[in-house]
Every structure is written in structure tokens, then in C-alpha cells.
Amino acid sequence: MAEMNAEFRGYRSPLSTRYASKEMQYLFSDQHKFSTWRKLWILLAKAEKSLGLDITDEQIGEMESHIEDIDFKAAAAEEALTRHDVMAHVHVFAKQCPLAAPIIHLGATSCFVGDNTDLLILKEALEQLLPKLVGVVKQLAHFAMQYRDLPTLGFTHLQPAQLTTVGKRCSLWIQDLLMDERALRACRDNLRFRGVKGTTGTQASFLQLFAGDGAKVRQLDQTVTKLAGFERYYAVTGQTYSRKVDLEIVSALASLGATVHKMCSDLRLLASRKELEEPFEQTQIGSSAMPYKRNPMRSERCCALARHLITLQANAANTLAVQWLERTLDDSANRRLTLSEAFLSADACLLTLLNISQGLVVYPKVIERNIAQELPFMSTENVIMAMVKAGGDRQVCHEKIRVLSHEAGAQVKQHGKDNDLVERIRADPYFAPILGQLGSILDPKTFTGRAADQVVEFVNEEVNPVVALYGDKVVTKSAQLNI
């Protein structure tokens, strides 16, 4: 029994067991990491061969035949002896490739595989996240258009304010997400390769390999960069690429976390008001003690993960700050946690948010009832203006409305009754000249300004062009969530 449950006897990250996608998990897996190391050693050998070093096609072919079959136990045993992860894998790879052994890792330092692999993973991770983010944007844009003219109470200071529409509020969430898309796309597009820079970034070892021919060393850098799928490399590095790169990316991810938290907090508030709900499955249980409950657990999950994501920005900033001179190794353990968890957390947030955005439920009658409790107070200025147009005195009308409003407010606050200001206006003979207009004066749609038009303009001018950038790569189908 103990052997059967061995996997449950050590720590396992909930990001891998519950939340993040299999595709994102694979990017940060040992298999992907170390097979990428081997691919980089092959690219280096190919580039060195093309520039005249004594490397054969047979050696390269031997390495290519062992990219994926990594002996992890042997590597762990080697690392226990050498206390060096890269050299452990060099030794294991060399035993599998005896013909190629002399030229594996030729001229390189550990950061050739370590940092370049990280950059490849960062690029792939950004390319995975962006279509998911745009998928959420696309789905929310449909929702915003569908409810662009449905009036709802707006809130400032979490107090009822002038009306907006359900779709207009959603457009505020979308606008923040578009800013996140722009930031993450810039991170992806600006990302470069470390290339081949040597121990302290001076390329001294490669200059020796090529007998002082600096042009060949530069060509080597360019060739390996192109073979790895990058257009550009960082012109100068220390032993590592600048950890400012990590900070820029994690900051953009943390900013996405803030967006997600704000949106999902709004959804939780609206669920509490029973105006809007996230999807709730037929067999889902909201509470172990209260069977009637429909808790917004998806939004709560997003908020929980987003808070963790936001905090990771400080890790990346502090790691950059303490990189003395050409580098120190106190970045390594921290980056193993920060980079993976930042992307896995962001991935989990977007998977959950896509699920939410595809199943939002609106309750117009509840929204209408909530408006009815506040709109009479908001309409008082319109009532005054109508009376003035009908020949009334503004100051007299203002005082009448003030008194009636206070009386109605007392009914609501002191006695828990509905807002009866309209009934009080109807019952006062003073307002007889405008009673026929009260229906139009109290129509909620007359209080939402250009909200509906703003949504249409926003979706057409700002959302659709971004969605079009991704074409059929946009992720539109949400996976089954682990609940």
C-alpha cells in the first residue's frame, strides 16, 4: 500500500495537480528542459562545424538520436557526485553518445544551455498564454455586445451612482485585458536569445576555438541564434542574460493578475447582489452545510491565484537587484520557482476565466428591481427640469422633491420598505402637469448616456483588430476545470 501511495507522500504543487494546463506544465517539465539542453548542444555543434571546426555529421547524428531518451536516474547520480547539474547531464549525454563525447558543450559555459533554454521556454510560454488571453477577450466582447444596452446600477465608492449598462461595465474589464495583451505581446516580440557568450559574456573561449577570428565568433553567435528560432540576440551579457528580462515578463504577468483579480472581484460582488453569476454545473455543490448556496468559486479561485501571481513581481525585481557584477548564483533557486509559478498561475487564471466568460448568467429582473430602489432618487433632477418646462418654479419644485425624497428614504432605511418616491410624487397635486411624462422620465435607458454606443465603438475599433491578429490561434474552448 505504501508503494502504491508513494506519489502522495511528498509535496506536489497544486499548480500541476489542480490548476494549470498540461501544455504549460510540460514547458516547465524536466523532460522538456533537459531535451532542450541537448538540442542546444546539437545546434552549437552544427554551427561550429559550419564554421570549420572538426565536427562530423556522424557525431551530430549520434546526438540527434538521443535527444529525448534522458536517463534521469543516472543524471541524478552524477549530480550527487559533481554538485553541478549541467556537467551531470554532459556526462550522461556523453555516455550515450561516445562518438560525440569530445565535442559536446564545446567552448560553452553552463549558461549556454541554462539561460538559452529559459529564453526558449519563456517565448513558448508567452505564445501559449496570448491566444488564451485573447480568447477571454473575444468571449467577453460577445457578452458586452449582447448586454450593451441593458441598464444597471453603476457604483462609485461601492455606493449606487448614475446608471451604466451591463455591457459597458464588461468593456472596462476587456480594456484592462487588452492592455495586458499589449504588454505580453511586447515581451514576446522583444525577447532575444543569449546566444554564445562564454563564461563572463566576453566570448573569450570561442575566440580561442577559432584562433582569434572574431568574425567567426560573431557568426557563430548569429547562426546558433537563428537555428534556435530567434531573430536577435542580446549584444552584451554577463554570464547570464540580464535578469531585467525576467522582471519585465513577470511584471507583465503580475499586471495580468491584477486585472483578473479586479474583474473577478466585481463578479463576486455582482453575484452577492444576485445580478450576475458565473457558471454553476448541475451537480456542483456550493456548500457542505448550506445546500442552497451557489458560491462564485471560479472567481474566488482566480482571485486566489492572481494574488499569488501579483506577489511574484517582487521576487523578480529583487533577483535583478542583487545580481552582483557579471552574476551570482543566488538567482537560480528563486528563478526555478518564480518563472514557472508565474506562468503556471497566469495559465490557470486564464483557463478559469475563459470558463467563466463562456457561461456568465445575467438576471435582468433582479437588476431591474435593484434599479427601481435607487432610480427615483436619481431621477429627481429630471423631474425638476420637466416641471420647470411645464411652468413651475425651480426652487419651489426643488424643495418639494427634497421633502418627498427624505420621506421615501426614511421608508427604505428605517422601515425596510421599498422606495415609494414615485408614488409620493404621483400623489402630490403639485406635480399634476408632468404625471403623463413620469414613465419616460423614469425609463432607465434614458440614464445610460452613450454607454451602448461606446461598447459598439470599443469592440469594433479596439477589440476586433486585436482578435484578428491571432486568427485561428485564439483559444475559444475552455477545458474541463478541476473543481
Q: Please identify which residue in the block is written with the cell numbers 570561442.
A: 206
The Cβ of residue 312 has, within 10 Å, a number of other Cβ atoms equal to 22
CA angle 246, 251, 255 (to 5 degrees): 155
- Told to judge if 157 belongs to the known catalytic residues of this protein, a careful annotator would answer yes
Instruction: Give the strand pairing for 151-156 and 276-277.
Output: unpaired
Give the Cβ contact number of residue 124 at 10 Å: 19
Question: Grid coordinates representing 261?
Answer: 483579480
Give the active site residue among 287, 332, 406, 440.
287
3-state SS, residue 4: coil
Closest by alpha carbon to 353, among 248, 256, 270? 256
Q: Is 287 a catalytic residue?
A: yes
Return the number of other C-beta atoms located less than 10 Å from residue 434's C-beta: 21
Identify which of 469, 405, 393 has the alpha carbon closest to the alpha carbon of residue 184: 469
Question: Among 144, 151, 131, which residue's Cα sits nearest to residue 173?
Answer: 144
Q: H or E segment at 164?
A: strand 159-165
Contact call for residues 133 and 350 (beta carbons, < 8 A): yes
Phi, psi of 164 (to 5 degrees): -130, -160
Residue from 418, 425, 465 nearest 441 by CA: 425
Grid cell at residue 138: 473575444
- How far apart are the C-alpha atoms of 30 and 39, rounded to whole Å? 14
SS3 330: helix
What's phi and psi for 36, nearest 5 deg?
Answer: -70, -40
Q: Quick one: which of 179, 163, 175 has its CA closest to 376?
A: 163
Q: Which residues are catalytic?
A: 157, 287
